[in-house]
Chains A and B, each alone.
Chain A
Amino acid sequence: MSESRDADPAAAPETAPPAPPSAVGPKRGAKRRRPVEWVLIGLVLFYALLLLLGPLASLVWGAFGEGVSRLLAELTTPDAVHALKLTLILSVAATVLNTLLGVTAAWLFVRDDFRGRRFLNAIVDTPFAVSPVIAGFMLILLFGRNGWLAPLADALGIKVVFALPGMLLATMFVSIPFVIREVMPVLEQMGTEQENAAQTLGASGWRTFWRVTLPGIRWGVLYGVSLTFARALGEFGALLVVSGSISGLTETSTLFIFRTLDERNTVAAYGMALVLALLSFSLLMVMEVVKKRTRRTS
C-alpha cells in the first residue's frame, strides 16, 4: 500500500517536466508548477505517509500477523468485549453530554453578554493545555479519599474514582472544547437575522432554535460531535489514572491495549487498536458522505 503511494510523487515529476518548456503559452501558465512547489508537495506527502499511513500499515501487519482466527479469538475474550463495550458507552455518553453542554455554551458565548463570559470563554481551552494524566490526577484529588467533593459524592452514594462516573468525567473533560469551538464560529457567521426573521414570523424561542438555529449550525455541531467522539474513543492518560484499570470492570479499550502490550500479547493489542482505528475512520467517512449528500440537495 505504501509502495503504491510512493509511486505517486515519483510519477508526477516525470509527467511534469515536459510542461515547463511547452508552457510558454499563457494557456498553460496556470498549471505550471515551479520546482519549489514540487519539493513542498513531496515533503507533505512524505510527512503524511510516514505519520499517518505508516503506523496504520504496521498496525494491520501486527494484527493479522498470526492469522485471522487468532485475531478473532483474542478480540472475543470476555475482557476484550467488555473493554470495547465500556469504551463505546463512555464515548457515546461523553459525546451526548458534551454536545448538549457545548451547543448551549457556544450559544451563550456568541449570543449573550453575561458577566464572566470572557473569562469562561478563555478557560474553555484548558483541557487542550492540561495533560490528560494531570486531569485524571485532579479528579482523584477532588473525589478521592479526603477530596474536596468526596463528601458530596458520598452523600449521593456515588463512587466516582475507580468507577464509571469518574471515567465519564475524565472523558468529558478532555473532549469539552471540540463542540464549543466548532459551533461558535458557525453561529457567529450565521448571525441573528434568520433568528430574528423566525421571531417576527411568530416562532417561539424554542421553535426558532430547533427549526432555524440548529439547522443553520448543523455542520459545526456534526463536526464537533465526531471530533468529540474520536477523542473520547482514544482517551488513555486520564482514564489510566482515574479508573484503576481493573480488567473486566473499569478497563477500557485503550487500557486493554496498554495491558495486553505489557503482557506481550501483541495480537490482542494490535487487534483492539485496529478496531478503534476502524471505528474512528468509519465515523469520519460517514460524516463526509452525509455532508456531501445534504449539500447536494440544498
Chain B
Amino acid sequence: MSIVLRNLVKTYGEHTVVDNVSLEIADGELFVLLGASGSGKSTILRMIAGLVPVDSGQVLLHGRDVTDLSPQERNTGFVFQNYSLFQHMTVAENVEFGLQVRKRPQAERVVKRDELLALVGLAGFAGRYPSQLSGGQQQRVAVARALAFEPSVLLLDEPFGALDVKIRGALRRALRDIQRSLRVTTILVTHDQEEAFELADRIGVVDHGRLLEVGPPAELYRRPQHEFVATFVGEANLLGVRSDGGRVRVGELTLPLPVRLAEQDPGIRWAALFRPEELAVAREREELSEPVLGEGVVEEVLDLGAARRLRLRLQPIPGVWPLGRDFGEAGVALLAALPWKPGSDLEFRNGDRVWVGVRGYHLLPRLARTFLILVDGTSGSSEALEQGFRLARAMAASVTLLCVAPTQSAGERIVAELREALARQKPAPAFKLRVGDVVEELAGETAREAYDLVVAPGRSEDVKARLSERIQSEVVAGITSERLVGSSPFPVLVAHGPRPELKRILLCTAAGEPGKLDVFFGGQVARTTGAAATLLFVDGPAFGAVSAEGGDGRAPDAWKRRFWIERHLEQGLQTLAAQGVQAQVSVRQGDALEQILAAAQEGEHDLIVIGGHLVQTWADLPERDLSIELVARADRPVLVVKGSFSR
C-alpha cells in the first residue's frame, strides 16, 4: 500500500472538517477524492502532504509513518489549484527546484528537467517565466516540478479547476498518460465528477468531512450505498420505499432485495435508485417490454444534443415517497434519458401522457432518519427533548414532536410553549398534536408514518422525588414507558433522568436478545456522537437455555459455551468495526438484568442499548422481556432497538 490513512480527524474549533477518514491506496493507483467544495477533501490531501497538521489518526506513506513529519520530510509531489509556480524563477528553475534542494549535480538536474518538460509537452519552454505562459502551460510546469524529484506519491488539489473546459480535457488526458507511464501513486482532489470518472481507478466520495464510499467509478454509479453518493455521482431518481419480507414494492413493481441485503433486511426503509437511462418511456403501455413503473405526464423536454432527457411526473404511488432535490410535492418526479437513435421519430412534447418502464434498479439502505419525540406534558418531557435533539443533531435526523394532551386546549398551550422554547432549536421540528392516551396515540402515529427512533419521556429526578418508592416505577415508567416500549414497532429511547452529555454507551448483547440490529443501531449512535462503546455480554442462566442449539434445553459444554460467546462477541465487534466504531468488550456472569444495571452503574454509561422483541400487541409479549424490565429499573436512558430482523 502506497498511502494508508487511519482514522484521520481534523477540527477547526467546533467544526469537524475531516471526520475519521480511513483509506488505503495501492501502488500506482490513481485515486480521486470527489466532493463538493467545503467537504474537506482538500484538507485530507493537505494532511497527507503535511501542510495541515493532523489532530488524530495516522498517515503512512509506503509503510512509513509520516504523521508527525514535516512536509519537507515526506517526499510528496503536490500540485496546487492556482499552480503556485515561483514567479521570479524561469520554468527551468522551477522544475529543478526540488532537485536543487536535494543537492543533485547540475548535469543530472538538466537531464531530468528536460525529460520532464518533454513529458508534459513543454520542451523548449525552459527559459520562459511563468507570467509568459498560459494557465494550462503553467499547470503543466507545476506537474513537472512536482514529479522532478521522483516523489513517492503525487497529490493534486483541483489541478484543473482554474482552466477552461477544452484545456481541461487535454490536460486530463496528458495527466492520465504521465501517471500511467511513471506508475506513480496519485491522489487527485476534484469536485468535477466527469473528471473523476475519466481519470480514476477508484473514487472516494467525501461529504461533510466523511469518506462515505470508495469504489471503482462504475461501481459507485451503479451500486452506491449512500443516498448522497447516488445523487452526487450522476443523476438519480431516488424513491423512498419500505421492504417487506425481503422485497420492495414500488407501485406495480416488485423488486427483490439482493441476497446479501435480504439476509440482513432489518425491515427498515430503502431507497430505490433508477438512473435516467434505466427508465424506458412509451406512449402506450403495450409498447413497453420492460416492467412498468406507472403512468405520468411529460413536464419538460431537455435536448442535450447527444441525448434527450424528459422530466416526468407520475401519479402518487402509495408507500413510495420521492427523495432528493429535484422532487416536488405532488406525485413522483422522474428524469428519463432517451438515447438518440438515427431515424427514430419518437418525439415527446410537454403535457404528453406516457408510460414509464424500468430496465434496471438499485436498492440502498436509507440512512436519512426521522425521529419522533413524544411530549406528554410531564416533566420528563424536557429530558426527552434534550436527549432526542442531541441524538438527532448527531445522526442528522429530522425531528417530529408528537404532543399528547388530555384536552385540546391543554395541548394547544403545550404546543405554543414548545414552539417558543424550541424556536432556535436545530433541527427545526415539525409539530403534531393529539388528544387522548399517550400509548394509543403513539401507536396510531407509528402505524401511519415510519420513524427511525421514538424518544419517550422517562422518569426524571424531580418526579421520582415526589413519588413514593412503590408507585414510582408503576405510574411513570411501569405503565407508560413499558407499554410504549412494548408496542412501538420502532426503536425507542426512554429518556430517564437528565444526562448533560453522551460520552459512554453500553451495548448489551445479552443472550436471548433478538438480533444484531441493536448492535448496528448502537454502533450508529456511537459513531455519530463520538461516544465510547462497550460491548457487554452477560453469561448467565438465561443464556444456557437459549443457546443450546440442539434445543433440548440442556446447557452446552463449557468449551462450546466459551466458543459461542467468543464468536458472538467477535461478530458484534465486526459489525461495529464495519461502521468505524472501536468498542471495548466486557463479559459478566450472573442474571442479565442485574448485571446490565451493575455494568452501567460501574462504567458510568450515559446510554444503555438493548434489543427488544417486535410484537403486534402488548399481550403478545413474552413472559419475560429483558428490555422492558430494564426500562422499568434503569436510572439512565435506555435505547430499545427493534426490528423484524431474525436470525
Binding site for B on A (CB under 8 A): 193-194, 196-204, 207, 211-212, 215-216, 218, 297-298
Contacts and interface: CB of A to CB of B under 8 A. Distances in A.
Contacts of B71: 196, 199-200
Interface stretch (B81-89, B186-194, B290-298, B379-387): B81-89
Contacts of A196: 51, 71, 78, 80, 84
B99 to A, nearest CB: 9
Nearest to A193: B84
A198 B50 CA distance: 13
Contacts of B78: 196-197, 200
Contact of A298 (B49, B88, B97): B88
B75 interface: yes
B76 A200 contact: yes
Given A207-B101, A298-B131, A199 B70 contact: yes
Contacts of A203: 72, 97, 101
The 8 nearest A-B residue pairs measured at CB? A193-B84, A200-B78, A201-B98, A199-B71, A215-B88, A202-B101, A197-B84, A298-B129
B125 to A, nearest CB: 15
Contacts, number: 68
B86 A200 contact: no
Contacts of B86: 194, 197-198, 211-212, 215-216
A199 B80 contact: no
Contacts of B85: 194, 197
Contact of A201 (B51, B82, B88, B145): B145
A115 to B, nearest CB: 17
Nearest to B76: A200
B87 A200 contact: no
Residue with the greatest number of chain A CB neighbours at <10 A, chosen from B50, B70, B71, B85: B71
Residue with the greatest number of chain B CB neighbours at <10 A, chosen from A194, A196, A201, A297: A201
Nearest to B78: A200
Nearest to A199: B71
A207 B101 CA distance: 9
Contact of B51 (A199, A202, A216): A199
A203 B49 CA distance: 14
B372 to A, nearest CB: 45
Contacts of A215: 86, 88-89
B77 interface: yes
A199 B75 CA distance: 10
Nearest to B93: A211
Interface of B: 49-51, 70-72, 74-78, 80, 82, 84-89, 97-98, 101-102, 129, 131, 142, 145-146, 149
Contacts of B82: 193
Contact of B149 (A193, A201, A218): A201
The binding surface of chain A is classed by DSSP as helix
A216 B101 contact: no
A204 to B, nearest CB: 6
Residue with the greatest number of chain B CB neighbours at <10 A, chosen from A203, A204, A215, A297: A203
B84 A202 contact: no
Contact of B87 (A198, A202, A211, A298): A298
Nearest to B101: A202
Contacts of B97: 198, 201, 203, 211
Contacts of B101: 201-203, 207
Contacts of B131: 298
15 contacts: A194-B85, A196-B80, A196-B84, A197-B86, A200-B49, A200-B50, A200-B74, A200-B146, A202-B101, A203-B101, A211-B97, A215-B89, A216-B86, A297-B129, A298-B88
A200 B102 contact: no
A204 B85 CA distance: 17
A197 B70 CA distance: 13
A216 B49 CA distance: 23
B91 to A, nearest CB: 12
Contacts of A201: 97-98, 101, 145-146, 149
Nearest to A298: B129
Nearest to B155: A200
B88 A200 contact: no
B80 A193 contact: yes
Contacts of A202: 72, 75, 98, 101-102, 149
A197 B86 CA distance: 9
B54 to A, nearest CB: 16
Contacts of B49: 200
A297 B102 CA distance: 28
Contacts of B145: 197, 201
A197 B72 CA distance: 10
Nearest to B75: A202
B129 A200 contact: no
Nearest to B97: A201
B468 to A, nearest CB: 58
A194 B84 contact: yes
Nearest to A196: B51
A48 to B, nearest CB: 33
A221 to B, nearest CB: 13
B44 to A, nearest CB: 15
B75 A197 contact: no
A196 B50 CA distance: 10
Contacts of B142: 197
Nearest to B98: A201
Contacts of A218: 88
Contacts of B75: 202
A76 B85 CA distance: 53
A264 to B, nearest CB: 54
A199 B131 CA distance: 22
Contacts of A198: 86, 97
A201 B84 CA distance: 12
Nearest to A200: B78
Contacts of B80: 193, 196-197
A256 B415 CA distance: 87
A292 B131 CA distance: 16
Residue with the greatest number of chain A CB neighbours at <10 A, chosen from B80, B129, B145: B80
A199 B87 contact: no
A196 B78 CA distance: 9
Given A196-B84, A197-B142, 15 more contacts: A193-B80, A196-B80, A197-B80, A199-B51, A199-B71, A200-B49, A200-B51, A200-B74, A200-B77, A201-B101, A202-B149, A204-B72, A211-B86, A215-B88, A216-B86
B489 to A, nearest CB: 53
A298 B97 CA distance: 18
Residue with the greatest number of chain B CB neighbours at <10 A, chosen from A193, A204, A212, A215: A193
A216 B87 CA distance: 8
A215 B86 CA distance: 9
Contacts of B76: 200
A199 B88 contact: no
Contacts of A207: 101
A216 B89 CA distance: 10
Nearest to A208: B72
Nearest to A207: B101
A297 B88 CA distance: 9
Nearest to A194: B84
B72 to A, nearest CB: 5
A199 B70 CA distance: 8
A200 B71 CA distance: 5
